[in-house]
Structure 1
Amino acid sequence: MADNSTEERTRPHVVVVGGGFGGLNVVRNLRKADVDITLIDRHAYNTFNPLLYQVATASLNPGDVTWFLRAVRAKQDNVIFLKGTVTSMDHEQRLVHLDGGLELQYDYLVIACGVTANFFGIPGAAEHSLPLYKRSQALAVRDRMFAYLENAAVNGQDEDLRLVVVGGGATGVETAGALAELRNNDLPVAYPEIDPSRVHITLVEMQDFVLAPFAPKLRDYAKRSLEKRNVDLRLGTSVKEVRADGVLVQRKDEEPEFLKSGIVVWASGITAHDVVKNWNVPQGRGQRIEMDEHLRVHGLKNVFAIGDVSINPDDALPQLAQPAMQGGKHVAKYIKADLAGETVKPFKYFDKGTMATIGKASAVAEIRFMPKMKGFLAWLIWVGLHIFMLLGNRNRFATLTNLGAKYLLWGSHNVIIGETPPIEAKDPHVLERAKVSPRGRRR
């Protein structure tokens, strides 16, 4: 591709870094604007992060929750997509530098690159735990889980099996609930060699409750729903160290306890990518880029930051899809007004609410202008909204089909699985000695 910084442009050039909720809303709301747009992302696809845990727990294909970013041109010809990683920025020259030596000159720059896992400096967390913020990470969790189970099926259960989820927010609760249902409903049939009562799903949360953003009664409902699914809740408990074979945890003033575990899923906190430090932008709490009431980066002309990577020190917004989407619309509106010599009112976030699911027919929801909901109705709304928010009708249909097979057809145990490594039998006669009952319990 030619060096775009030397191309002659007759229209203002808008560069959007990040093809997530925020970035795509900027692009789409500039569809009729008299501008040229370059959308940059390190991946060729958009990922619908709220359903990544369903990929990790073998209910959805990765293609169900990803969308080809180049397809944005299907209904918009003033945008091109460029796959690459931004390495640095020169705001005096209005240049964005990418890996491979490419550089782009901008008239307006929108930073919407999202975030990554925050390990809070906990020893071993980055090396030994599995985050859930990318498609590849969700697949790593899924494949590690089935390798773990296949090994136990061949070599027997000389000890209990444990999967640990760190973090009691929406991602942690949803992941723990889905893993528990997989164990409770699929394990007895698919893995009769394994005793489900000796497979533990442990959720570790530093606070004394789960789902902190929700009302206390909804938190209590979520806690009861997890307990009903036999999730081992470790509330008021912090992680001190993550090792290759488990986690060291401690509950307040009690003695530390080591939980031996084959898998540790990290769903506790987010931070900006390290590369943002090279972008010459002011960073605040969580290394998020500081911006003002118009989502403009402090001290920089025509540079904006939206979504999870941004923060207004005077009015911090939740790191959810809605603030990013609404922020994208506002930035597009601001750019169009600026080109016309007009002004717009400061950005005002409209909180539509939030929701989380624990499992089949179990969810919590706080939706604007509606009473707080829990149980089956909240779950139906959660399913419908998440399918509606997916990009592309093919993704919506595939997700509806796969979730329907999971939640409506309990007789199906056909999980979505990838490759697992070869298993080495510790004892070649172990299967000869294993007497297995029809219910999957060892006799």
Structure 2
Amino acid sequence: MAKARHHVVVVGAGFAGLELVKELKGADVEVTLIDRRNHHLFQPLLYQVATTSLATSEIAWPIRHLLRRRKDVRTLLASAAGVDRAGKRVLLDDGGGIPYDTLVVATGARHAYFGHDEWEPYAPGLKTLEDATTIRRRLLLAFEKAETEPDPERRRALLTFVIIGGGPTGVELAGTIAELARDTLAGEFRSIDPREARVVLVEAGERILPAFKPELSAYAKGALEKLGATVELGRPVTGCGAEGVTFGGVVLPAATIIWAAGVAASPAAEWLGAEADRAGRVKVAPDLTLPGNPDIFVVGDTAHVENADGSLVPGVAPAAKQQGRHVAAAIKARLAGEGEARPFRYRHGGDLATIGKRAAVTDLGWIRLTGRPAWWLWGFAHIYFLIGLRYRLAVALSWLWIYATGQRSARLITQGDADGGNDGRA
């Protein structure tokens, strides 16, 4: 009787999980990939779906299609509910279980409202396609409602868009919404002028893009203000509700609020009974294993990974992909009977953030760029990491069209649930 092949179970088909599966090609293993959604999502461009620049199908791909030629990989559409470490099984929410020899947990992150989960209905975050289509529907409906609103104060609130959080996602959202109002929608309404829309970026810290050098943060602030956005610094938000946003002791009436201020890890630490940091990330050993459990790896946004100097590895796509490759190499080394696993070493490639369609900031360490050169570099970098020639061409053509005309084509308001979570190709 043939010996069963080593069974690797991967929970999560994000950047880390998919990269791991890709790197295990040709290894003497069987892989089961579990995800509660049927698609892999290119999260760095999710805000462009939310702001009508790209269609959902341009940044997400069916997992089964991506792995259709991998006969060693079984894909399951399911939600993990826990881990039986003693029995070495992943527990599913339908009551089933999947046995493993090696388990890799790569379940990503969710929104964090700093103890104010009651804000979520009024200030949705941006982590999934459903989040993006919800936000897009709210943005477009705000203009439509303003067109028929007779009350000036209510109309002003409908045309006020608040983004909470001054990291890359918040900056990118603010710049694109400002351009949507100023360029794309200008001239399409009769009772309102979309160019009068107010876009407000609220950041509790002293500058936006705090991970960037101060001069790049200052450039980004100036670029946003040039687009007509308002940047509020050093004023933490203390309330979100139907009436608007409260910060600095003042209520700003706003019908559309977007949360880009914080994330928390998935409940993986609870499943594993593991030590976690304040954001819920599992504290892992230097080789990315769960301390005391060498058969369990935790990677991506789920993991608290420290660099050699004690700093935290950032929760960005390149870091997740590097972790996926590291774990694949570690599994291969174990199967080959090699020695102790090497510690993970993160190689930082640089920081990039875009501000609208013609400006960006990039810090590659050895060179820093702003303006259009930075925007072109940002665009090439993101297109390079997309999956497949077809999608690279589709996104490149969409961006060139927006760059040349200011027009964004993914502006259909579809009727799904109350927040418009179902949009298909729109």
The answer to whether TM tops 0.5 is: yes
Amino acid in structure 2 at the alignment position of 1:295: L
1:387 is aligned, of 383, 390, 409, to: 383
Find the counterpart in structure 1 of residue 315 from structure 2. Answer: 319
Any gaps of 5 or more consecutive residues in structure 1? 1-7, 251-255, 422-443
Is the CA contact (8 Å cut-off) linking 1:142 and 1:417 kept in structure 2? no
In structure 2, relative to structure 1, the CA distance for the partners of 1:236 and 1:43 (3 Å cut) is same
Cα deviation, 1:62-120, whole Å, max 9, x if unaligned, reads: 11110111123234221111111100111111010012122101000001110001100
Q: How many residues align?
A: 407
Amino acid in structure 2 at the alignment position of 1:81: T
> What secondary structure does 1:398 align onto?
helix
Find the counterpart in structure 2 of residue 431 from structure 1. Answer: none
> What secondary structure does 2:175 align onto?
helix
- 1:170-249 matched pairs, under 5 angstroms: 170-196=168-194, 198-249=196-247
Is the CA contact (8 Å cut-off) linking 1:282 and 1:297 kept in structure 2? no
User: TM-score, normalization: structure 1?
Assistant: 0.88
Q: Which moved more, 1:108-117 or 1:65-74?
A: 65-74
> What secondary structure does 2:354 align onto?
strand
- 1:355-370 matched pairs, under 5 angstroms: 355-368=352-365, 370=366
Q: What is the alpha-carbon distance in structure 2 between the residues aligned to residue 197 and residue 360 of structure 1?
A: 17
Q: What is the alpha-carbon distance in structure 2 between the residues aligned to residue 60 and residue 109 of structure 1?
A: 35
User: TM-score, normalization: structure 2?
Assistant: 0.92
Is the CA contact (8 Å cut-off) linking 1:26 and 1:332 kept in structure 2? yes
Q: Which moved more, 1:355-364 or 1:180-189?
A: 180-189
Are 2:293 and 1:296 equivalent residues in the alignment? no
Is the CA contact (8 Å cut-off) linking 1:166 and 1:265 kept in structure 2? yes
Are 2:76 and 1:76 equivalent residues in the alignment? no
Find the counterpart in structure 2 of residue 378 from structure 1. Answer: 374
Q: What is the alpha-carbon distance in structure 2 between the residues aligned to residue 387 and residue 102 of structure 1?
A: 39
In structure 2, relative to structure 1, the CA distance for the partners of 1:110 and 1:413 (3 Å cut) is closer
Cα deviation, 1:116-153, whole Å, max 9, x if unaligned, reads: 01100136322321111110000000011111111111
Is the CA contact (8 Å cut-off) linking 1:55 and 1:138 kept in structure 2? yes
> What secondary structure does 1:373 align onto?
strand
Query: What displacement does 1:274 show?
Result: 3.8
Query: What displacement does 1:413 show?
Result: 5.7
Q: What is the alpha-carbon distance in structure 2 between the residues aligned to residue 215 and residue 328 of structure 1?
A: 29
Find the counterpart in structure 2 of residue 406 from structure 1. Answer: 402
Find the counterpart in structure 2 of residue 139 from structure 1. Answer: 133
Query: What displacement does 1:156 show?
Result: 4.3
Amino acid in structure 1 at the alignment position of 2:344: F
Are 2:99 and 1:105 equivalent residues in the alignment? yes
Find the counterpart in structure 2 of residue 268 from structure 1. Answer: 261
Are 2:404 and 1:418 equivalent residues in the alignment? no
> What secondary structure does 1:128 align onto?
coil
Q: What is the alpha-carbon distance in structure 2 between the residues aligned to residue 238 and residue 174 of structure 1?
A: 19
1:54 is aligned, of 36, 48, 52, to: 48
Counting aligned pairs with the same residue, the percent is 35
Cα deviation, 1:213-235, whole Å, max 9, x if unaligned, reads: 10111001001000101111111
Structure 1 runs (4+) greater than 6 angstroms displaced: none
Looking at CA atoms only, which structure, 1 or 2, has the larger radius of gyration? 1
2:118 is aligned, of 115, 124, 148, to: 124
Is the CA contact (8 Å cut-off) linking 2:238 and 2:247 kept in structure 1? yes
Amino acid in structure 2 at the alignment position of 1:281: A
In structure 2, relative to structure 1, the CA distance for the partners of 1:414 and 1:284 (3 Å cut) is closer
Amino acid in structure 2 at the alignment position of 1:230: G
Q: What is the alpha-carbon distance in structure 1 between the residues aligned to residue 151 and residue 213 of structure 2?
A: 41
